[in-house]
Amino acid sequence: MTIHTEHTHRTWRATKLDHLGSSIFAEVASWKEEAKTKGKDIIDLGIGSPDQGPSLIIRESLSREVLKEENYAYPKSSGSESFLNSAAKWMSHRFQVKVNPNTEIVSLMGSQDGLAHLAQAICNPGDLAMVPNPGYPIYAGSLAIAGVRPFEIPLREQNDFMPDLESIPDEIWDEAVFILLSFPGNPIAAPADQHYFEKLIAKAKKWNVLIVHDMAYSEMGFDGYEPMSILSVPGAMDIAVEFHSFSKSFNMAGCRIGFLVGNEQAIQSLRDLKGNIDYGVFEPVQQAAITALEHAISEGEDYVGVAPLYEARRNVFIDSLANEGWEIPKPCATMFLWAALPGPFREQPNRWNSRSFARELLLHSGVAVIPGDAFGTEGEGYVRIALVQDQQRLEEAARRIGQFIRSYS
């Protein structure tokens, strides 16, 4: 018997992992460490994680529930009956959308859980889906995991960063399983109105393409703007699903809970997948989420959510940057600014790009932002700035950024 001693080297790493998100996030983390070694005080405006916790009543609810022995059994993977009922009640209160909690909602370990798995649940390898560019990294990453081919829809300033539905070729509409969009989105807070949603729904119905609407920032509208659910548009339940998150809406990022709501068949497909790969969200976390929803409902017009905090931060920071010579449009929603590079840097494209600007800004000033190309090729020439520091730190960040800009002017 011959034993072969020479074998092809194995890496134990799937090649699809190379298509997950962007290495830029890891690079920014290394830049922060480098800046710290230079003695820089870091003002981190990079990752969009809320810097405040949930309200006291939510934390008290969680505290009570974790002490109950019965809450340590496996939870129902699709969500407890009380959580699904509360989510349905909140959809009705917030958006006037009526849904069946038994068939048209599934709980998630945060909306990213659902975004990461939906393509696996509704597509076959080799299928095609449409995603925005720039877009939240898991949009394209989830397709790589599922073996689904992406068609990237460019979001450009000349179109107010709105997807141009008519520019998408008919053959793409004919082949696509779903189209994923987000209003207001990450990294760009473009708003969609009812007319746009009606056009999108008509187009999707014509080609039998599922609409996947990521609405993680539903509670972060400013200047009187209230983001609208696509499911509030007649006919949407036939062709659309929508993600909702407690991370940004209720400062519950670490709790990992959200839900997908909408078309029954798509919801059931995700329920079937998740029923085989996880056991659902820890019951005390579901109870805390119920408390968040019920408090928002019971307070009615007196409810004060997270929007006023971020609107005030937006105003202070953008005004402070304008005083330093960097004019940035005020977004109508979300916790992010999408900013074109300042003039002196835009005028030298051979020397400066999104990545080099973000790196030098961090090393020079200690202010961390995310290069726009982390979100896709269309993000080149931009940076994303998260409003996740208090007003005093944001004013300090603007001052430092101004010094950096002037040093290269």
Q: What would the DSSP string read from start to end of 72-110?
A: GSPPPTT--HHHHHHHHHHHHHHH-----TTTSEEEESS
- pLDDT band, very low/low/confident/very high, at 24 (cuts 50, 70, 90): confident
pLDDT at 211 exceeding the cut of 80: yes
Question: In the prediction, which pLDDT does 17 show?
Answer: 85
List the Cα angle 17/386/117 in 5-degree steps. 35
| 83 and 136 assigned to the same domain | yes
| 259 and 135 assigned to the same domain | yes
Give the end of a domain, one of 301, 319, 340: 301
| Structural contact between residues 300 and 94, judged by C-beta atoms closer than 8 angstroms | no
Q: Is position 7 within any domain?
A: no
- Give the Cα separation of 175 and 93 in Å (integer): 37
| 234 and 218 assigned to the same domain | yes
The two tokens of residue 396 are 């300090």
Give the end of a domain, one of 301, 324, 342: 301
pTM for the whole structure: 0.95
pLDDT at 3 exceeding the cut of 70: no
pLDDT at 267 exceeding the cut of 90: yes
Question: In the prediction, which pLDDT does 22 show?
Answer: 66
- Give the Cα separation of 72 and 351 in Å (integer): 57
| 40 and 127 assigned to the same domain | no
| 111 and 225 assigned to the same domain | yes
The two tokens of residue 281 are 């969200």
Residue ranges making up the domain that contains 177? 56-301
**CATH code at 387?**
3.90.1150.10
| pLDDT (tens digit per residue) in 104-151 | 999 999 999 999 999 999 999 999 999 999 999 999 999 999 999 999
